[in-house]
A and B are shown apart, each in its own frame.
Chain A
Amino acid sequence: DAGITQSPRHKVTETGTPVTLRCHQTENHRYMYWYRQDPGHGLRLIHYSYGVKDTDKGEVSDGYSVSRSKTEDFLLTLESATSSQTSVYFCAISDTGYGYTFGSGTRLTVV
């Protein structure tokens, strides 16, 4: 996925610990998004950003926070991880707010 990198690719963490996922882009796109993907639910929007320090909630934002201090970085933090947050997390970027490019994903397991 040229221009967009997610880290880590895999993570196992314990219930109750904070976790931060990173999305880094080199495309200078204005819009950045965090989605989670679960069987039976498809892709659901967690949070999104429309500029530096400008963020808003998506449909499943409870238990998550985000920060964007630079154009290229969008961080997703699970404040106190729970087993229900075990999922695959995708970051996406867009310059127009229309066609999105997705990162490779982070597989998070909360035990």
Chain B
Amino acid sequence: QKEVEQNSGPLSVPEGAIASLNCTYSDRGSQSFFWYRQYSGKSPELIMSIYSNGDKEDGRFTAQLNKASQYVSLLIRDSQPSDSATYLCAVIGGKLIFGQGTELSVKP
């Protein structure tokens, strides 16, 4: 079993819709969780971090964490074409371990 798993996509949503990206992890001791966005040909950039169960909101982005289910999600409200990118889930298990990423495409 991979340590951090994501659906590779692509996930396609219309402009203005909510995009929902999901991630599961295997290490129950993990304490810190991150979402990175990576545009094609560019480096990953940190967009959200979450450390405790529940929701964390930052603008159009909401990160959700459920440690009992070992599940992290990222919601993007009012999706824009500029949100089209690959979203990487990452979990601290000693070191930062990344999922494979989910490709998101927002159609105008």
Contacts and interface: CB of A to CB of B under 8 A. Distances in A.
Interface residues of B, number: 17
A92 B38 CA distance: 14
Interface residues of A, number: 22
Contact of A101 (B46, B92, B100, B101): B46
B25 interface: no
B23 to A, nearest CB: 12
Contacts, number: 41
Interface in A35-55: 35, 40-45, 48
A43 B43 contact: no
Interface string B36-50: 000000111110010
Interface of B: 32, 34, 42-46, 49, 88, 92, 95-101
